[in-house]
Amino acid sequence: MKYMAGEQALGGAQSVDRALALLALIARHSADGISLSGLVAASELKKATVRRLLLALMRAGLVEQDNETRAYHLGAETYVMGLLAQGRHGLLRQAIDQIQTLARETGDAAFLSVRRGLHSVCLHREDGAHPIRTYALLPGGHHPLGVGAGSLAMLAALPDPQIDDIIAANTPELSANYPRLTPAILRDHIAQTRESGIALNPGLIFEDSWGLGIALHGPDGHVVGALSLAAVESRMKETRRPELTEKLRVAARITEARLDRRQQEKRI
């Protein structure tokens, strides 16, 4: 029995190795895609094996197949993984201590998010000490732009034509999954965010999960991400929001100054 278990472990490890090798092959051809026959030839694996491993990679969102050409490309989840890995050395590295400070000083959950096309992706979450927490957003989680405080802050900071295109493209998903956040309500919140400089999510996604967010801008003025805080409604009352808002603004100023210095150092 021990021998059989060892064989199964080796077989499982071999399948992982083969799947990762296929993923690497697809990555090298992701722009134009690679066919099933091309993967079979390059990997020297049996066609049935390649097909089985591809199906597993597709279920995980790591590989996609073009409906017209039938070629294989990297999937959306690889982009999310890349963002999370890049964050360690990029934006997250410049902001991490500010996220930790926000969580420590407020006792609430602090986040760093970035834009991914029509969506926002959470790069990092730091929990504060308060025992009652909201888990509406976790690292790697993504929502349509405008859903959540950090996501709304990024959307509001974009030019009007981009906002119009994004809302139009996301309307079916908003209607299906976020019925309380209609395009009209979203536009009202964009206007309020622009007026105050701070995005407020008053429990529109989950009833008792409130948030405040602020956009982060790079040296060129473009939006590079957002910092946000989330807590239950009782910790986001109007009397407390000015204090939280000021902490977010301080954290954003420090992070943006670091991004600016980093850009200047690259030019030297």
What does the pLDDT read at residue 11?
Answer: 52
Rg of the chain (C-alpha set): 22
Q: Provide mean pLDDT across the span 146-151.
A: 96
Closest among 93, 206, 227 to 157, alpha carbons compared: 227
- Looking at residue 5, its amino acid is A
HSE of 263 in the Cβ direction (CA atoms, 13 Å)? 12
Residue 266, token pair as written in the block: 């690259």
Domain range list for the chain:
2-74, 80-267
Output the pTM of the full model: 0.70
What are the tens digits of pLDDT across the range 173-195?
Answer: 999 999 989 999 999 999 999 99
Q: Among the CATH numbers 1.10.4160.10, 2.40.160.20, 3.90.226.10, 1.10.10.10, which is that of 2-74? A: 1.10.10.10
Closest among 104, 241, 242 to 96, alpha carbons compared: 104
What are the tens digits of pLDDT across the range 227-263?
Answer: 999 999 999 999 999 999 999 999 999 999 999 888 7
Q: Among the CATH numbers 3.30.450.40, 3.40.1350.10, 1.10.10.10, 3.30.1370.160, which is that of 80-267? A: 3.30.450.40
- Looking at residue 69, its amino acid is T
Q: Give the pLDDT band of residue 10 (cuts 50, 70, 90).
A: very low
As beta bridge partners, residue 226 has 113, 215
71 contacts 54 by C-beta, under 8 angstroms: no
d(CA 264, CA 266): 5
d(CA 65, CA 192): 41
Cα 258 to chain center, whole Å?
A: 22
What are the tens digits of pLDDT across the range 52-89?
Answer: 999 999 898 888 888 889 999 888 777 667 666 655 44
Q: Do domains 2-74 and 80-267 have the same CATH topology?
A: no
